[in-house]
């Protein structure tokens, strides 16, 4: 699985002009299931994200996790993270099938929640508008193949 994390002071996702998920302080997580990904990879990714120390402590050092600061996670499916860029028009065949992608997205979301992090979501497969304020800015790319 692949994910892009952004430390945010606030974030929301809308579908057809209606906000369907929003958070204050926390993480905006764009996540993509790849062909061959498993529930175990979703669990490993969720556990790593929950413990990742990218929020500032009292001394201004990135030393706290989203859990430590009482933050939330806005989780949005993003199949374009699977882009194959060999040509000028990206291909997305490395992404999991829609059925597998939805199953793994839901499993990942449930594992983030099981870590004690409040979650909000977009709508899987929908055309969404994402609004966020990246704090820092801090943006981190993750792939379970390198965890």
Catalytic residues: 78-80
Name all contacts of 96-100 with Cβ < 8 Å and 24+ positions apart. Answer: 96/32, 96/33, 96/34, 96/35, 96/36, 96/37, 97/35, 98/125, 100/33, 100/35, 100/37
* Contact in structure between 5 and 28 (CB atoms under 8 Å): yes
Q: Which residues contact 56 (CB under 8 A, 6 or more apart)?
A: 62, 63, 64
């Amino acid at each position: 699985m692949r994910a892009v994390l952004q430390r945010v002071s606030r974030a929301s996702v809308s579908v057809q002009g209606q906000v369907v998920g929003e958070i204050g302080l926390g993480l905006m997580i764009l996540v993509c299931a790849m062909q061959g990904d498993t529930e175990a990879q979703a669990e490993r990714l969720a556990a790593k994200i929950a413990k990742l120390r990218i929020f500032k402590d009292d001394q201004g050092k990135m030393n706290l996790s989203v859990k430590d600061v009482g933050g939330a996670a806005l989780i949005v499916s993003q199949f374009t993270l699977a882009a194959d860029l060999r040509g000028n028009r990206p291909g997305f065949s490395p992404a999991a099938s829609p059925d597998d992608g939805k199953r793994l997205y839901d499993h990942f979301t449930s594992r983030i929640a099981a870590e004690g992090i409040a979650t909000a979501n977009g709508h899987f497969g929908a055309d969404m508008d994402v609004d966020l304020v990246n704090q820092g800015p801090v943006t981190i790319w993750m792939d379970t193949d390198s965890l």
